[in-house]
A and B are shown apart, each in its own frame.
Chain A
Amino acid sequence: MGIEVFVQQLINGLTLGSIYGLIAIGYTMVFGIIGMVNFAHGDVFMLSAFIALIGFLVLTTILGIGSVALALFIAMLVGMVLTSLWGWSLERLAYRPLRGSFRLAPLISAIGVSIFLSNFVQLAQGARNKPTPPMMQEVIPLFERNGYLVALSYKQLIIMLVTATLLTGFWYVVKKTSLGRAQRACEQDRKMAALVGIDVDRTIALTFVLGAALAAVAGTMYLLYYGVVNFADGFIPGVKAFTAAVLGGIGSLPGAVLGGLIIGLVETMWSAVFPIEYKDVASFCILAIVLTFMPSGILGRPEVEKV
Chain B
Amino acid sequence: MTALLSIRGVEAAYGAIVALKGVDLEVNQGEIVTLIGSNGAGKSTLMMTIFGNPRARRGSIAFDGRDITALPTHEIARLRIAQSPEGRRIFPRMTVYENLQMGAELDGAAHFREDLERMLAIFPRLKERLHQRGGTMSGGEQQMLAIARALMARPRLLLLDEPSLGLAPLIAKQIFAVVADLNRREGMTVFLVEQNAYHALKLAHRGYVMVTGQITMSGTGAELLANPDVKAAYLEGGAH
Residues of A within 8 A of B (CB): 178, 181-182, 184-185, 188-189, 191-200
Contact = CB atoms under 8 A, between A and B. Distances in A.
A189 B89 contact: yes
Given A191-B89, A194-B73, A185 B102 contact: yes
Given A181-B102, A195-B73, A196-B103, A189 B91 contact: yes
Interface of B: 51, 53, 72-74, 77-78, 82-83, 85, 89, 91-94, 98, 101-103, 105-106, 109, 149, 153
A81 B189 CA distance: 46
Given A181-B98, A192-B85, A198 B93 contact: no
Contact of B106 (A181, A189, A197): A197
B109 A178 contact: yes
Given A181-B102, A200-B74, A192 B89 contact: yes
A192 B73 contact: no
A185 B51 CA distance: 18
A172 to B, nearest CB: 15
A188 B74 contact: no
Given A185-B91, A188-B92, A196 B153 contact: yes
Contacts of B153: 196-197
Which 4 interchain pairs have the tightest Cβ spacing? A197-B77, A194-B73, A192-B89, A197-B106
Given A181-B101, A191-B53, A191-B89, A196 B94 contact: no
30 contacts: A178-B101, A181-B94, A181-B101, A182-B105, A184-B91, A185-B91, A185-B102, A188-B92, A188-B93, A189-B92, A191-B53, A191-B89, A192-B85, A192-B91, A193-B102, A194-B53, A194-B72, A194-B74, A194-B77, A195-B77, A195-B82, A195-B85, A196-B77, A196-B82, A196-B106, A197-B77, A197-B105, A197-B106, A198-B102, A198-B105
Given A178-B105, A182-B105, A197 B93 contact: no
B88 to A, nearest CB: 9
Contacts of B78: 197
Nearest to A192: B89
Given A178-B105, A188-B93, A191-B89, A197 B98 contact: no
A54 to B, nearest CB: 40
Contacts of B82: 195-196
